[in-house]
């Protein structure tokens, strides 16, 4: 695969110097660096497989998402459920 790579000036100079010092081409050095990086990255699970699901820590939903119509309503004069808590219960 061919690609363009824009390096910072100091990185470009360091790459040139390493190629001169080692006698290897700049492409060879960059390929080795990319190979080393990719070899050190831990393998990720396949897309769409959540580790929580595959380990059994979380179960998939039994039925698809659906809109829920509220059946409980707050008492008259209470604006939000937080108001139902005693002052000491709030944090």
Query: Would residue 73 count as lying in a domain?
Result: no
pLDDT for residue 66: 83
pLDDT for residue 9: 95
Query: Would residue 85 count as lying in a domain?
Result: no
Q: Average pLDDT for consecutive 10-residue bins of the chain (91 residues)?
A: 92 96 96 92 69 79 83 84 70 56
Query: Would residue 67 count as lying in a domain?
Result: no
pLDDT for residue 10: 96
Query: Would residue 13 count as lying in a domain?
Result: yes
Query: Would residue 72 count as lying in a domain?
Result: no
pLDDT for residue 34: 93
Report field, pTM of the whole predicted structure over 0.75? no
Question: DSSP string of the chain?
Answer: --------HHHHHHHHHHHHHH---HHHHHHHHHHHHHHHSPPPPPTT--HHHHTTSSPPPSS----------PPTT--SGGGGS-GGG--
């Amino acid at each position: 695969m061919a690609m363009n790579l824009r390096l910072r000036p100091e990185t470009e100079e360091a790459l040139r110097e390493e190629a001169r010092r080692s006698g290897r081409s700049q492409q060879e050095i960059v390929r080795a660096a990319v190979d080393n990086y990719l070899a050190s990255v831990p393998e990720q699970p396949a897309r769409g497989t959540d580790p929580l699901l595959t380990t059994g820590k979380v179960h998939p939903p039994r039925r698809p998402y659906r809109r829920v119509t509220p059946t409980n309503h707050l008492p008259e004069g209470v604006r939000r459920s937080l108001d139902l808590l005693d002052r000491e219960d709030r944090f």
